Structure 1
Amino acid sequence: MVRNNFLSDNPSYHHNVSLVLVRDVPNRDIFKGVLYSFFGERFENRAKLNLPNPFQEGSEAPYRFHRFNILNLGDFNNFICVQCHLRHNSKWDARFALWNPTTDEFKVIPHSHNRFQPFGANASHDVMNFHSSSHVFGFGYDSCTDDYKMISYVTFSAPPFLECIGYEPLGDTPEPFWEIYSLKSNSWRKLDIVIPITQVFAGMEAKVYMNGMCHWCITINSDSDSYFEFESKLVSFDLNNEVFFTTPIPSDIYDGSPREERIWKQLVVLNGYIALITYEEQMTTCNISILSELSVKESWIKLFIVGPLHCVEEPFGMAKGKIIFKKKDREINWFDLRTQMIEELDIKGEYCDIAVYKEGLLPIGGINM
C-alpha cells in the first residue's frame, strides 16, 4: 500500500522542477564538465547548458577554471551548490559557489579565515604550513534567520606536494573542526560541537538536505570488542538550532563493513521522506529504504527492491521516481519506478553528477540579502 502511494503520489513541489546532469569528458587543460538540463513533468525535454566562468575578474582572475562538481545537497532550491577546481601554473585551489541555472548568476563563497590562523598561544608556525581540506556535509535554508547555511568539516595535513617526499611540518598538526557559512553575512564561523565522523569519510556521497536539516551517512566501529564490527548511522544537523541527531541504520539495509565496499549508496528526498538508495554490485539490485522518524532505528522501511539490472555499473541519483545510472558501456540511462522501464538518454560519461532545482528568477539569497 505504501509503495503504491509513493508511485501514484505527485507532490506539488515536483512541478517546475528541473534536473541538471554533468558528465566529464577527458581533457587535461580546460573545463571538462558538460551540462544538460532535463525539464517537463517527466523530464521529457532536454537542453544543453553553458556554465559561466565566475573567476574571470578579481583576485581569482589568474586561475584557470578547470572543472567543477555538483554538490547535490539541496531540496528543490532555485540554485545549486558546486565545487570549482581552479589551477594556476602548478597551484591548485578549490572554491565553493552557488549557481542559479535559470539566470546564470554565480555567488562565490569566500575562503574561511579560520583555516589560516595560528593555533594556541605558543604556536610558532602558521596553519599555512599545513594543507587544509574542507569537506562540505550540508547546505540548506534556515527559516528562523531567513538565511542559507553550509556546514563543513576542516582537516589538516602536510602539503600534498611535500607529503610524498616525507616532509613533516614543524609543530603539532592543528585539530580538525566544524564550521558553518552564512550567506546573509557572507562569512564562516567555528561551531563548538562534536559530531561523530568516520576517519575515512565513508559515505561522502550520501548527503541530502530537507526541511531545515542536513543529513549524511557515517560508518564507525561499533562498541563491540571486534575490530571488524561496524555500524552505520544517519547524522542529521538542524540548521535552525545548530544541533545534531543520529539514527542507526539496520545492517540489512546497510552496515558499511568492508565486505560491502562495492555497495553504492546515496541519500535522496523521496516524496517528503529521507530515502537511502543502495546498489549491490554483486547482486545487481537497487534497494530503496525510507526513514519515517529520526533517531528511531526501527522506523527504516525497505520500500523497493529493483532488479536484477545486469547492465548497470553504478547508479548516481534519483529524481521524480527515476533512478539515474551509468551502464557498463558508460551510457547514461534511467529506470522509471512507475513504468518499470529503462529509458536511454543518448549521453555518455565517465563520471557524472546531478542536482534537482526549481527554476526561479530571484537573486541568490533573495531580494533582501
Structure 2
Amino acid sequence: MYNKFVAQKLGNHLPDDLAFSILFKLPLKSLKRYGCLHKSWALLLENSNFMELFRNNFISNQHSYYDDTSLLLCLDQPYKSSLFSLSGRSFQNMEKVNWPKGHCSGYFTLGSSSINGFLCLYPYELGTMYLWNPSSGEFKIIPLSPIEYIPDSMDPQFNYVGFGYDCARDDYKVIRQLYLFPSFHTEDTRYYEEWDIHGPWEIYSLRSNSWRKPKSDIYIYPRCEELDKFYLEGMCHWLGNWRESYDEPEKTYLVSFDLSNDEWFITPLPPVDIPLEIYSNFDIDLRNCHLFLLNGSIALISNYYDTTTFCISILAEIGKKETWTKLVTLGPLLYLPRPIGIGNMRNILFRTTDGKLAWLDLRTHLVEKLDVNAHGIICQLIVYKENLFPTIGINS
C-alpha cells in the first residue's frame, strides 16, 4: 500500500462498500495517509455516514491507555486542596488520599494522568515540588533551581506545563516557565531591564536531580489553566496564547515538547465548527478551548463564549493544522459550561452551573448528574495506573 501505483491499482478494483467497511476502522493518522492515495478515500471524511461509523468505532474501542486504571479527583477547597480516590461510575465511594508527608496545602497534580504510577505535585504559588507514587508511598522532593534566586525587586511565578517520561534516557522530567513581575514591596527599578517578564524555560531531570534551560525561541506563552496539559508518547502537550498586536484578540495554539530531544512543535487550532444560527449576540473571535486526551488521541473541546454547544476535534499529526478532524458536536448543554476531564474512552466530566459534577456520554449524549460538590476554582480528574515497583532516585 506504500507504493502509490499499486495502491491506486488495488483501489480501482476494491469495491467501494468493502473499502468503506475497512477504512472507518483505521486510526485517524492512517486514514489521513491513505486518503492521499485515492481521491474517493480522501472524500470519506466529508461523508456523514462514514463519519458516523468512524466516530462510533473510535469511541467504542477502548485504548490500552485505560487498561487497569482508576480515577483520582483533586478538588480546590478553602485554604487547601484535597485528593480523592474514586470508585463507581457515580463516585459512590470517595476515599480521601493523604498527600506525602501528611498533607500539602494548596497542591495540584501536573497533567491529567500518572506516569508509571507517579504524580508530579506542584504548589499553587511558590514552594516545594514532589514526585510521588501514591501506591508505594515513594516520593522525591524536587530541589530548587538556580534561577529561583532572583533580585528582591522582582516577584517570581512559575507556570508548570509538563511532567513526563523520557524513555530514551529512562528519566522523569518536569518542564515549566518562569514569570517575573516588579515587586510591590520595593520601588527599586535597577533590575527591571535585566529581566524579561516572560522568563526562561526550565527542565528538571530526576536522573541528574537538577534543573537546566532548554534551547527555546518559542513565543507562545502557556495558559494559567490547571487543565489543558498531558503527556503522550514521549511528549508533553499544553495550550498557549499569543497576540500579534494589542488591537487583535489572542489566538490559542497547541504546544508540544519532545522530552528526548528538546524539540518544540506548534499546531494552530481548528475553527469552532458549530451551527451559529442557533445563537446571537456573541463575539466569534472569543472562544473557549480545552485540551484532553481522548482514547489515545489529542482532543480539543471548543465553544464560543456565552454559548453552550461544544465541538470536539481530534488531531492526527502534531504541527499540521490540516490534520484536525471534527469528531462530534455536543449541545446545547445549558447547565454544563465547563469540561473537567475524560475518565475513559467515551465519558467526559463536566462541572455544572450549580457547582456539581456530571458525566456526559459521547455515544448517547446522555447526562448523568453526580452528587459531588466542586465549588472551588480548580477541579482535576486524573487517570491513575498503580505501580508498586520501586524506582531509582525516589525515597520512601
1:186 is aligned, of 190, 209, 234, to 209
Deviation track 1:158-185 (CA, whole Å, cap 9, x = no partner) reads: 23x527xxx3443234231111100111
- Residue 131 of structure 1 corresponds to 155
- Residue 120 of structure 1 corresponds to none
- Residue 72 of structure 2 corresponds to 20
Counterpart code for 2:77? V
1:265 is aligned, of 274, 282, 289, to 289
1:239 is aligned, of 259, 264, 272, to 259
SS of structure 1 residue aligned to 2:203: strand
Counterpart code for 1:291? L
Rounded to whole Å, the distance in 2 between the matches of 1:365 and 1:280 is 47
1:213 is aligned, of 220, 235, 238, to 235
Deviation track 1:269-299 (CA, whole Å, cap 9, x = no partner) reads: 2222111122445221222110001221110
Structure of larger gyration radius? 2
Rounded to whole Å, the distance in 2 between the matches of 1:128 and 1:106 is 32
Deviation track 1:55-81 (CA, whole Å, cap 9, x = no partner) reads: x7xxxxxxx943212222546541222
Give 1:1-369 correspondences, 5 Å limit. Answer: 1-26=53-78, 28=79, 32-39=80-87, 46-54=93-101, 65-74=104-113, 77-85=116-124, 93-116=126-149, 127-159=151-183, 161-162=184-185, 167-171=187-191, 172-175=193-196, 176-198=199-221, 201=223, 205-222=227-244, 227-228=247-248, 230-252=250-272, 259=283, 263-280=287-304, 282-320=306-344, 321-351=346-376, 352-364=379-391
TM-score, normalising length from structure 2? Answer: 0.74
SS of structure 2 residue aligned to 1:114: helix
SS of structure 2 residue aligned to 1:191: coil
What is the Cα-based RMSD across aligned positions, in Å? 3.0
Runs of 4+ with deviation above 6 angstroms: none
Deviation at 1:346, TM superposition (A): 1.4
Q: Is the 8 A contact 1:73 1:140 kept in 2?
A: no
Rounded to whole Å, the distance in 2 between the matches of 1:65 and 1:44 is 24
Deviation track 1:4-34 (CA, whole Å, cap 9, x = no partner) reads: 11121012331211111122333x4xxx323
Deviates more, 1:73-82 or 1:286-295: 73-82
Rounded to whole Å, the distance in 2 between the matches of 1:264 and 1:227 is 19
Cα 1:276–1:44, aligned 2, differ >3 Å: closer, same or farther?
Answer: same
Rounded to whole Å, the distance in 2 between the matches of 1:77 and 1:262 is 38
Deviation at 1:52, TM superposition (A): 3.0
Q: Is the 8 A contact 1:17 1:76 kept in 2?
A: no
Q: Is the 8 A contact 2:110 2:120 kept in 1?
A: yes
Q: Is the 8 A contact 1:75 1:210 kept in 2?
A: no
Counterpart code for 1:112? S
SS of structure 2 residue aligned to 1:152: strand
Rounded to whole Å, the distance in 2 between the matches of 1:281 and 1:51 is 37
Deviation at 1:259, TM superposition (A): 4.1
Matched residue pairs, number? 330
Q: Is the 8 A contact 1:278 1:286 kept in 2?
A: yes
Cα 1:276–1:365, aligned 2, differ >3 Å: closer, same or farther?
Answer: farther
Identity %: 36
Q: Is the 8 A contact 1:114 1:190 kept in 2?
A: no
SS of structure 2 residue aligned to 1:7: helix
Q: Is the 8 A contact 1:74 1:210 kept in 2?
A: no
TM-score, normalising length from structure 1? Answer: 0.79
Deviation at 1:102, TM superposition (A): 1.9
Q: Is the 8 A contact 2:176 2:201 kept in 1?
A: yes
Deviation track 1:243-281 (CA, whole Å, cap 9, x = no partner) reads: 111112123369xxx947974432122222111122445
Rounded to whole Å, the distance in 2 between the matches of 1:44 and 1:157 is 41
